[in-house]
């Protein structure tokens, strides 16, 4: 019997053999418009020429070296990242995935505050490793115990957050816009309230920008789009345009309280991945790039508000199309696939997610509207 992977993903029946920009090319030659973008990973679209050049050149120059040695792509990446970060003095730790970057953020917050309690939110998703799963809203995390005390609060409830916060809280961790939960933008003032509560109690405010980061909301970080700066900003997914990366950015004052030796990684910060990641930071940092994302966002939002869709929410190119009662996002995704468009579902059965490459064109955005017009709402 042929060796098979565990059956953990319900795979779609699409035989993808190639991809270009925002399109997947199937074995039979059909092209599918990818409005899912590999779960927010394909920041610059498939096969971006500049990433290919930087990646290939770096691979030939120095493919990999131990973290005991420094290399030019690290300095270049840090410089490009710094230019995009909110004002402040920051330190960075590099790893390989979103879950790992969140684990490191938690480790830093727990260690620096010498506290044991972490506040998180219903609907959140932060990854599947032990600490990240403990603060995620997953039905079965696979771990019998959380590695610290967890207080889970309703999303957007400022009063509940105020009541839960005291000097036992090490960290408050959240996605500034909850993605998997169905693209839930925080209510006005909520993030400001969390920032104030953390300042008052000495807790660490952690933004998980694994999906919202890297230009997705029309600025480099949702922290900037929503106007609140955390103490720790975590990203991954689109940060290296399709190569594995985890980035934990922490305030210099938090970093100064860390003993050395609690963080480490074999692959994190390797030169080839950082050569690609540097291209991403430079591109998303261009003012015209963000402006374009905001323009295409408006076009995609208008296109999405057609056919059976009742509301579109989100920021930039992280949009949720909300369906009326009785209609399922799974059914609508199937109907869109028949029109050659791939979209994402979410943990809310009524919300379809649109997280395309940030290089999506206006013409491609319009294709969604045409497809939705011909879907009658019985999907």
Ligand X SMILES: Cc1ncc(COP(=O)(O)O)c(C=O)c1O
Give the one residue of 210, 299, 332, 336 binding ligand X; rule: CB under 6 A.
Answer: 210
Listed ranges 111-119, 150-158, 205-213, 309-317: which one lies at the site for ligand X (CB under 6 A) = 205-213
Listed ranges 81-89, 124-132, 247-255, 301-309: which one lies at the site for ligand X (CB under 6 A) = 124-132
Contact 224, 237 (CB under 8 A): no
Among candidate residues 148, 95, 91, the one with its CA nearest the CA of residue 120? 148
Among candidate residues 245, 204, 1, the one with its CA nearest the CA of residue 106? 204
Q: How far is the CB of 268 from ligand X (least distance, A)?
A: 12
Q: Which residue lies nearer to ligand X by CB, 24 or 318?
A: 318
Listed ranges 175-183, 334-342, 354-362, 363-371: which one lies at the site for ligand X (CB under 6 A) = 175-183
Contact between 126 and ligand X per CB under 6 A: yes
Contact between 103 and ligand X per CB under 6 A: no
In 208-270, alpha helices (H): 222-226, 252-255
Contact between 97 and ligand X per CB under 6 A: yes
- Cα–Cα distance, 305 to 251 (Å, whole number): 40
Which helix (H) or strand (E) segment holds residue 29: the answer is none
Contact between 186 and ligand X per CB under 6 A: no
Contact between 208 and ligand X per CB under 6 A: yes
Q: How far is the CB of 127 from ligand X (least distance, A)?
A: 4
Rounded to whole angstroms, what are the CA distances from 293 to 12, 242, 265, 297?
28, 19, 33, 6
Q: Which two tokens stand for residue 34?
A: 């990818």
Among candidate residues 372, 230, 285, 227, the one with its CA nearest the CA of residue 43? 285
Q: Which residue number places its CB atom closest to ligand X? A: 98
- Cα–Cα distance, 247 to 236 (Å, whole number): 6
Contact 100, 126 (CB under 8 A): no
Q: Which residue lies nearer to ligand X by CB, 169 or 177?
A: 177
Q: Which residue lies nearer to ligand X by CB, 292 or 315?
A: 315
Listed ranges 4-12, 96-104, 108-116, 355-363: which one lies at the site for ligand X (CB under 6 A) = 96-104
Contact 33, 364 (CB under 8 A): yes
Q: How far is the CB of 111 from ligand X (least distance, A)?
A: 21
The label of the residue with tokens 């690290």 reads 74
The alpha carbon dihedral of 172, 177, 179, 184 has a sign of positive
**Residue 362 CB contacts under 8 Å (≥ 6 apart), including other chains:** 295, 296, 299
Q: Which residue lies nearer to ligand X by CB, 26 or 148?
A: 148
Give the one residue of 84, 95, 104, 211 binding ligand X; rule: CB under 6 A.
Answer: 211
Listed ranges 95-103, 142-150, 274-282, 341-349: which one lies at the site for ligand X (CB under 6 A) = 95-103
Binding mask 48-87 for ligand X (x = CB under 6 A): ----------------------------------------
The label of the residue with tokens 């290296």 reads 240
Contacts with ligand X, residue ranges (CB under 6 A): 39, 97-99, 102, 125-127, 175, 179-180, 208, 210-211, 236
């Amino acid at each position: 019997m042929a060796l098979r992977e565990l059956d953990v993903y319900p795979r779609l029946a699409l035989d993808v053999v190639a991809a270009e920009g925002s399109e997947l090319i199937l074995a039979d030659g059909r092209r599918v418009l990818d409005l899912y973008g590999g779960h927010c990973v394909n920041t610059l679209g498939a096969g971006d020429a500049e990433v290919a050049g930087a990646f290939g050149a770096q691979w030939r120059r120095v493919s990999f070296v131990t973290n005991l040695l420094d290399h030019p792509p690290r300095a270049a990446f840090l410089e490009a990242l710094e230019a995009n970060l909110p004002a402040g003095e920051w330190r960075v730790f590099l790893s390989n995935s979103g879950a790992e970057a969140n684990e490191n953020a938690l480790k830093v917050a727990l260690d620096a505050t010498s506290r044991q309690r972490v506040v998180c939110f219903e609907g959140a998703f932060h990854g599947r490793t032990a600490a990240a799963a403990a603060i995620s809203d997953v039905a079965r995390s696979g771990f019998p115990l959380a590695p610290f005390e967890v207080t889970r609060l309703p999303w957007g409830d400022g009063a509940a957050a105020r009541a839960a916060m005291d000097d036992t809280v090490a960290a408050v961790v959240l996605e500034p816009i909850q993605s998997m939960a169905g693209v839930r933008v925080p209510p006005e003032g909520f993030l400001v309230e969390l920032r104030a509560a953390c300042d008052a109690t000495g807790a660490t405010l952690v933004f998980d920008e694994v999906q919202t980061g890297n230009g997705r909301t029309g600025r480099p970080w949702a922290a900037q789009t929503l106007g609140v700066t955390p103490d720790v900003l975590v990203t991954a997914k689109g940060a290296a345009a399709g190569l594995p990366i985890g980035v934990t950015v922490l305030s210099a004052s938090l970093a100064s309280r860390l003993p050395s030796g609690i963080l480490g990684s074999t692959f994190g910060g390797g030169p080839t991945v950082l050569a690609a990641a540097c291209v991403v930071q430079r591109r998303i940092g261009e003012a015209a790039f963000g402006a374009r994302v905001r323009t295409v966002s408006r076009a995609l939002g208008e296109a999405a508000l057609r056919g059976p869709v009742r509301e579109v929410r989100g920021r930039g190119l992280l949009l949720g199309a909300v369906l009326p009662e009785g209609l399922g996002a799974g059914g609508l995704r199937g109907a869109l696939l028949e029109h050659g468009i791939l979209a994402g579902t979410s943990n809310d059965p009524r919300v379809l997610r649109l997280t395309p490459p940030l290089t999506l064109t206006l013409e491609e955005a319009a294709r969604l509207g045409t497809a939705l017009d011909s879907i009658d709402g019985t999907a």
